Structure 1
């Protein structure tokens, strides 16, 4: 896939550094400002800086998929758009001369979301001259992540980027890292008992509530405002998935009162959701639609729907996250659409916030990237926005291009 060259690379051009293979986003169809961080000088050259739209209250679903960010942070914080996380040329040069080291501790690295976020992190760390000394994958195990953090600490990083597998079980390990002077930037969630600006720098997320609203809008429109649907939700106390599921439920209730959620099936194993799909179809063989918390569980649901012989006209499916497999299903019409995160942009913002901490620059406590509506009509453009890469041949073929 051919990478697009974009805004984050302006800073490298200004300091004479070339970074091949990575690029920046374009504005989305809905008019979103580019989510990837620019240098402040570049923004001044282009005109006024990006407008701070802030965070609408969760009960306001009118702008889901647009420029407003509907989510609030783990502690109720108002969101700062990721596009506002900027560095001057002088600050970039200062970071490049600092000899800094970073590490990444993932809760799970085996999906397209993690892969894309890692690409954004690595590209930005390389641009900033920050050495990446470790990348770990806890495979959803809190015990493993605690061990990973101990291993990382032996490499003496200046900053750790992480998403806690369990906000409570990993809290002591992260707190110890903070007490040892390591700067912490979190993805999506923060450990229990930790305070932004004191124990950690910031938390970066997608607009998960907004993405849930997008999935609901797509479902409601596909059903013409009437029908019976089921939910397949992540049955765990995990902040971002709880937000997206709440956004879906509330939007369905507020905007589509004649669509009834007749069943909710919880899961803990994302790879086993054909079982939840089977349960819904057995109990409600005339179900009109099913929502799943993200793309991998939806793959299981979709396999169940296909095995039952039901068509995409009979059962409408919506979800969150533009994984490659679900992208193909949207292009072919098997899935109506989804609310997409922009994980590459999140990775860029996380690395830039790491630089903020190393500079002693004040950072917003919660940073978010707008939700993106994805459906068959814009699948190729949306893929490029999400992955910062041209849509691959297999997706173009599936879309009939």
Structure 2
């Protein structure tokens, strides 16, 4: 399905969720407040979301799981960012409570072939559980199906392999509200631009990746449906793996081709770092950037009052905890919801330190705290 078709569907979904009163009739700040506690995303197959707060294990459940001496492997698409590390931390924390040994954590470096090899290697250790995010939902599907057929309890982060069915091949998928975070980052952009609006660019993820597509759909639809004074004048996809370098080159080209551009949205924090680098090189101290994911480098920039006006944050530590609990559902042969989601968290400088603690379940690092203006 094309980006434009997704955007059209996303706009319809957003309108249905927010009701008959257009967001444009509100301020951006009011629209951001309206997001609190909501989940706007649907699952990879259109599933309605179940709140993560509804997923739990009793003490009797924990005792039963501890007696199983189960093992788990965490198979990442990419491990080199704060989001991935927080996911692993949340998983390890909850698995320890459940008496489950983590026998492997792998990083595929965004390579589907590497991830398939990782799964084959892990299967030689006979894990009870695999928690994973597919690098490519089509290319990796056969490896995950093989694991499912051998009785491994599969729980997915954000996306699912093509052709696998919840409740049969895997337990559940857990995600942040990526659509909601896209909405939040659009309202934050509008808030920064003010009533006069302006021209903006979009740096999206040029891959068949469910969660990043939802972010793009939501940002674009929210701007187009609610802020007629903001014009999207340029958009370009990046494929990685050098997301910082790719985003820097794309953003530089946008600023050259559109001298009046006022802001650029980046699909997550790592490409946003590339946009920051491009703005610095161009001497564009006035450029406004919004994004998704509370990484340390964008947090430092925000703390300093730099380019990052605001962002929509995921809750990766809590997501990891929820994934581990759902793995317990699989071990207990308990029915689980197909799609579980956590609400978006709009972040600006004034709530940055509190948001960091909510996202990572730890205090903000000294690099961020020391940068606060």
- The answer to whether TM tops 0.5 is yes
Of stretches 385-394 and 106-115 in structure 1, the one that deviates more from structure 2 is 385-394
Superposition pairs for residues 29-40 of structure 1, below 5 Å?
none
- Cα-to-partner distance string for 1:259-302 (whole Å, 9 max, x where unaligned): 01011011011132110111111101210100000000000010
Residue 106 of structure 2 is matched in structure 1 by 136
State how far apart, in whole Å, the 2-side matches of 1:327 and 1:268 are.
24
Do the aligned residues in 2 keep the contact of 1:64 with 1:213 (CA within 8 Å)? no
Deviation of 1:399 after TM superposition, in Å, equals 1.1
Deviation of 1:64 after TM superposition, in Å, equals 6.0
Partner SS for 1:275: helix
Residue 120 of structure 2 is matched in structure 1 by 150
State how far apart, in whole Å, the 1-side matches of 2:208 and 2:368 are.
34
Do the aligned residues in 2 keep the contact of 1:138 with 1:145 (CA within 8 Å)? yes
State how far apart, in whole Å, the 2-side matches of 1:394 and 1:339 are.
20
State how far apart, in whole Å, the 2-side matches of 1:183 and 1:146 are.
17
Partner SS for 1:205: strand
Residue 99 of structure 1 is matched in structure 2 by 69
- Which residue of 275, 295, 306 maps to 1:301? 275
Residue 52 of structure 1 is matched in structure 2 by none
Root-mean-square deviation over aligned CA pairs: 1.2
Partner SS for 1:318: strand
Q: Is 1:386 aligned to 2:359, yes or no? A: yes
Deviation of 1:127 after TM superposition, in Å, equals 0.8
Deviation of 1:394 after TM superposition, in Å, equals 2.2
Residue 279 of structure 1 is matched in structure 2 by 253
- Cα-to-partner distance string for 1:101-133 (whole Å, 9 max, x where unaligned): 111110000000000110000011011000111
Deviation of 1:393 after TM superposition, in Å, equals 2.2
Matched length:
343
Do the aligned residues in 1 keep the contact of 2:244 with 2:272 (CA within 8 Å)? no
Superposition pairs for residues 269-348 of structure 1, below 5 Å?
269=240, 270-272=243-245, 273-311=247-285, 314-334=286-306, 335-348=308-321
Name the TM-score, length of structure 2 as normaliser: 0.90
State how far apart, in whole Å, the 2-side matches of 1:338 and 1:83 are.
23
Higher fraction of helix:
2
Partner SS for 2:370: helix
Do the aligned residues in 1 keep the contact of 2:255 with 2:261 (CA within 8 Å)? yes
State how far apart, in whole Å, the 1-side matches of 2:337 and 2:166 are.
9
Superposition pairs for residues 64-79 of structure 1, below 5 Å?
65-79=35-49
Do the aligned residues in 2 keep the contact of 1:57 with 1:71 (CA within 8 Å)? no
Q: Is 1:223 aligned to 2:193, yes or no? A: yes
Q: Is 1:126 aligned to 2:96, yes or no? A: yes
Residue 23 of structure 2 is matched in structure 1 by none
Partner SS for 1:265: strand
Q: Is 1:266 aligned to 2:266, yes or no? A: no
Residue 15 of structure 1 is matched in structure 2 by none
State how far apart, in whole Å, the 1-side matches of 2:78 and 2:131 are.
13
In the alignment, structure 1 segments of 5+ residues that lack a partner are 1-55
Do the aligned residues in 2 keep the contact of 1:164 with 1:170 (CA within 8 Å)? yes
In the alignment, structure 2 segments of 5+ residues that lack a partner are 1-11, 19-30
Residue 6 of structure 2 is matched in structure 1 by none
Deviation of 1:188 after TM superposition, in Å, equals 0.4
Superposition pairs for residues 347-366 of structure 1, below 5 Å?
347-366=320-339
